Amino acid sequence: VRFFGLFLFILTALYVPTVLAQEASQTQYKLEATLDIFSQSIQATQEVVYVNTGDRDLDALYFILAPNLNREPNPNLSPIIIDSSYPKGFDASWLDVYDVVDEAGNALNWAYEDGPETFQSYSLEQNLLKVDLPTTLAPGQSTTVVVEFETKFPSSLNTDQSFHKNIYTWRFAWNPVAVTATDLVDGKYHSEGQDYVRWRYPAALYEMSFTVPDHYTVVTGMDVQEQVSTDELMGTKTLILKSDVPVRSIPLSISPNFKRYTLPNQDIPVHVYYLPSEEAAARQIATYAIEILDDYSGNRGQYGYQQLSIVTSWASGYFGMAADGFIILGNSGFAEKDLTVAGMADRFLEYLLAHEIAHMWWGIGVSTDLNAENFLSEAFAEYLSISYFEEKYGNDRPNVVQVERKGFLENLIDAQFGYLNLRQHFSELPYLVVHRDRFDEALVKPQQSVEFANNSQTRIYNKGYLVLRALEGTIGSEDMAQLLLETYEQYNHGILDTDLLKAQAEAISGQEMNSFFEDWVYGDASIDYGIERVKTNPNEDGTYTTLVTLTRKGEGRLPVEVVLLNKDGSLTRQTWMPESDEETLTFITPHPLLEVQVDPQSWTPDVARINNYFPTRLRIIPDGGVDVPLDSYLIRFDPISQILEGGYVLDYRWLLADGLIAFVMNQGRGNTIDGALVFGDDVLAEFGWNAILYEHPDLGIQGKYWEPSHRLRLSISRRLNFDEKAVNYGGVTYTFSQLLNARHVLQFNTLIDPFSFTRLNATALTQSLLFPNVTVDLQAEFGYSLGKLPGFLHFNMAELNSFYDYKEGVKQKLGFPGRHKGSARLSVSFPMQRDLAYSVAGLALVREVRGNVYLTAGQTWNEPDGFDVDNLLAEGGFEATASGQMFGGLLSFNVTAGVAISLLGPGLTDFTTFEPYLRLGIPFL
Ligand SMILES: [Zn+2]
């Protein structure tokens, strides 16, 4: 560290003017840091000029040591789940403090403290550094503290705070972050009586001299990024990274493998960092980013940084993560977007990029408490990006997957995904599902009070966006744009909270916003508008009077637009301010009525749009195309498969096919009713009821998580074989699964005809971790029956892969049917190849190959005491499964090639049979 002191001195001198100018009000960090690739860590000395921005004296400073949140593994999760995040088993991330001194180098008293349970209940030790100040720090005064520390990048498959595939990634708080005085309670970071602890990244001025191996590329979002020296002896180079404006962190992505593309001649340079072979995608991403930046800068306020750096993640997927001037994008946008059908993922990638860039305005630029008010970040990023997308591609038609070229696979993609609409299917539909499942709750609440932690993402992103859209519907588009612009300009590089937003909305719109915020932001209101009756009559003067009786269910009343579409194509509008549950509006129009529409522009988050139209809308698809309309009944015919089906999105579905009639009704939370009638050699009718009961496992996180642990199915069936008499039976199936705390599945199934037979079946599966990345599955099945078990309900040994028979030259798999069964299977799964990007003719990208060896043994028998060790069937086998991405990286595939060897069984003399097999899990195949 000492070696670089001279550089730091020179550089500090260079930047003195800025430092002096900001000194009075702004906390500043100056770091002198080195990336040590042998210990996979950053070693640094950090000087903090801390300003007491609070209103009381401080005796101590607190620093958050966020890397220590992953120092210990989560003791509540199954080791298999923890292991799945690590390439070589759990690896801790940590931050160790070595020394704390004052400006003059005098030692300061310091200690580690436990952190609060803001997000998690484990690994809380050493989450805080408390530094005692030698003299009290009065409000407005500043003091300097120098911390020497080291932060370890764990070898981890997480996409942030990790080292993997020679990429070091860390966006926020890899250094000790000083808690701002306004976030301290009685001079402490957290105290007993506090309702909850806010999690905010205060913006501060950062400057760092950073020494890395000379062939490494450092990607960051800082305004100034300059190489200032190289040391040939050490093989290192030193960079200066500095922000001109207050930022949340020094975000880092570092690798020797990155290449860079910069779109030249732009006001705001956009740098895209990619891996070899991804340059075309990098250039495309740069052009999207420039367009988005131009649009936002013109409409949403001036961009707050000098540049934007976009860097690929090592990990496949369409995801993004933002920090100041910095975006990490999942590798699918670089390496997979043109697989199989080129261009099919382009618009989705553009939307994703628009979301991440929007965070430069909202979430990073204007930041907030990520514990309770994360919607101020995510919902606003959704609002900006979806608005941008709809402005560019339209909002009322399919707009996500648009394949212009004709071709066999292109037509397939068009038929399957061509219907997708960004707002309807990526925001409204997830919200409708959560509402139907009764998992909806308020947007603003701390993690500890979250009732449905399993649906936080839908709540914060999708519902949050719909609520902002409802706010636009309430105050008007102009005021909404003004609200966003003014709030951004006032709070950029600062912290916003919901009350401030409400005050801004009231000031700009001149409307009182209490009920809006109480219902939609602090509360869990919902709304369903509907048309109850429509009466329309001609008047004597040639005009028409139409009476529209409207209903409102739910507490979240919002003004709603009611539109009459007249026969001549003209529209007549009224806004309904619902004061009661039912009201009749009167329209007088010069032309007869064609359709009544309630909220046709979807300004409100209406949870059922099917009743918003008169007459009820019906969408008929005669050519087998797919659609999920949210406002109409669907009837769809597929001329190839000859399937006719229909229903309404979440409520029910029915299906008529050759030899099959089926329906399912959804009552939410996994409760469904279904029925099916199958015609073949036999006729089978079955009627069933399914229920799910939830457990709330302690997962080490705050908030209540709902795991669907108990599944019950009750059914009655009738099977008619024309040769025999009908068989009637009832069924009870109970499945218990525990997949988060541990890995077990237990299933009991009983089929009973009280006059004829009873059939019992039990299956147990347990999974455990043998070594890092190597799992063992043990499965056992037991079947038993009483009475006259009909042939079609006999047990069999279908799980065997190597037992075949030749009948008249035709190879047939042996089923070994019987009235009773016992079997067990042991298998070990292990990685063979991973982190691949192996292209298969541009159709698919293989990402991983896993191996699996197994041993299966068992038998079926007919007499109650017929079990006989001599008749045991046994086989061993080996499989390799290659998996990866196809179709623009939006769909995955897997291919399994295996060989099974029969070890014990009838007909086996002194040789064993090798039976090769292949299983394909390829989309549309
Ligand atoms: Zn986001």
Give me the mean pLDDT over the 735-750 stretch. 97
C-alpha 461 to ligand 1 mean position (Å)? 8
Instruction: State how far the alpha carbon of 211 is from the alpha carbons of 7, 273, 616, in Å.
Output: 11, 20, 67
C-alpha 351 to ligand 1 mean position (Å)? 11
- Give the pLDDT score at 907: 64
pLDDT digits (tens, 9 = 90+) for 492-533: 999 999 999 999 999 999 999 999 999 999 999 999 999 999
Query: Greater confidence, 26 or 467?
Result: 467
Tell me the residue type at 209: S
Angle at the Cα of 878 (from 873 to 884), degrees rounded to 5?
135
Q: How far apart are CA 448 and CA 460, in angstroms?
A: 15
Q: Reduced to 3 states, what is the DSSP secondary structure of residue 80?
A: helix
Encoded tokens for 384: 């900006």
Q: Are 436 and 650 in contact (CB under 8 A)?
A: yes
C-alpha 387 to ligand 1 mean position (Å)? 15
C-alpha 677 to ligand 1 mean position (Å)? 46
DSSP 650: T
C-alpha 500 to ligand 1 mean position (Å)? 21
Query: Greater confidence, 309 or 24?
Result: 309
pLDDT digits (tens, 9 = 90+) for 197-242: 999 998 999 999 999 999 999 999 999 999 999 999 999 999 999 9
Near ion ligand 1, which residues have CB within 5 Å? 378, 381
Query: Greater confidence, 3 or 639?
Result: 639
* Structure confidence at residue 481 as a pLDDT band (50, 70, 90): very high
C-alpha 470 to ligand 1 mean position (Å)? 20
- Give the pLDDT score at 526: 97
- Give the pLDDT score at 912: 64
H-helix segments, 359-475: 375-393, 408-417, 422-423, 429-436, 456-457, 464-475
pLDDT digits (tens, 9 = 90+) for 92-126: 999 999 999 999 999 999 999 999 999 999 999 99
pLDDT at 12 over 60: no
pLDDT digits (tens, 9 = 90+) for 241-285: 999 999 999 999 999 999 999 998 788 999 999 999 999 999 999
pLDDT at 4 over 70: no
- The listed range with the strongest mean pLDDT (259-268, 434-443, 908-917) is 434-443
pLDDT digits (tens, 9 = 90+) for 806-820: 778 788 888 999 999
- Give the pLDDT score at 579: 86
pLDDT at 17 over 60: no
DSSP 459: I
Give me the mean pLDDT over the 746-765 stretch. 97
C-alpha 366 to ligand 1 mean position (Å)? 13
- Give the pLDDT score at 389: 98
pLDDT at 14 over 60: no
- Give the pLDDT score at 776: 98
Q: Are 553 and 562 in contact (CB under 8 A)?
A: no
Q: Are 331 and 257 in contact (CB under 8 A)?
A: no
pLDDT at 2 over 60: no
C-alpha 321 to ligand 1 mean position (Å)? 7
- Give the pLDDT score at 27: 92
Encoded tokens for 716: 């009655």
- Give the pLDDT score at 10: 35
pLDDT at 9 over 80: no
Q: How far apart are CA 802 and CA 374, in angstroms?
A: 55
* Structure confidence at residue 911 as a pLDDT band (50, 70, 90): low
- Give the pLDDT score at 15: 37
Q: Reduced to 3 states, what is the DSSP secondary structure of residue 325?
A: coil
C-alpha 381 to ligand 1 mean position (Å)? 6
- Give the pLDDT score at 507: 97
C-alpha 355 to ligand 1 mean position (Å)? 6
Q: Are 119 and 447 in contact (CB under 8 A)?
A: yes
Query: Greater confidence, 914 or 247?
Result: 247
Sheet-wide strand order for 236-242: 94-102, 142-152, 41-51, 28-36, 205-213, 236-242, 224-231
Give me the mean pLDDT over the 430-435 stretch. 96
C-alpha 79 to ligand 1 mean position (Å)? 29
C-alpha 385 to ligand 1 mean position (Å)? 10
- Give the pLDDT score at 620: 97
pLDDT digits (tens, 9 = 90+) for 41-76: 999 999 999 999 999 999 999 999 999 999 999 999
C-alpha 682 to ligand 1 mean position (Å)? 54
Give me the mean pLDDT over the 656-665 stretch. 95
- Going by their DSSP bridges, the two strands 270-274 and 308-312 should be labelled as parallel
807: burial class by Cβ within 10 Å (0-12, 13-18, 19+)? exposed
C-alpha 396 to ligand 1 mean position (Å)? 24
C-alpha 389 to ligand 1 mean position (Å)? 16
Q: How far apart are CA 670 and CA 125, in angstroms?
A: 40
pTM attached to this predicted model: 0.94
Instruction: State how far the alpha carbon of 551 is from the alpha carbons of 274, 438, 533, 579, in Å.
Output: 54, 21, 9, 11
pLDDT digits (tens, 9 = 90+) for 649-658: 889 999 999 9
Percentage of residues of the chain with pLDDT beyond 90: 87
- Give the pLDDT score at 260: 98
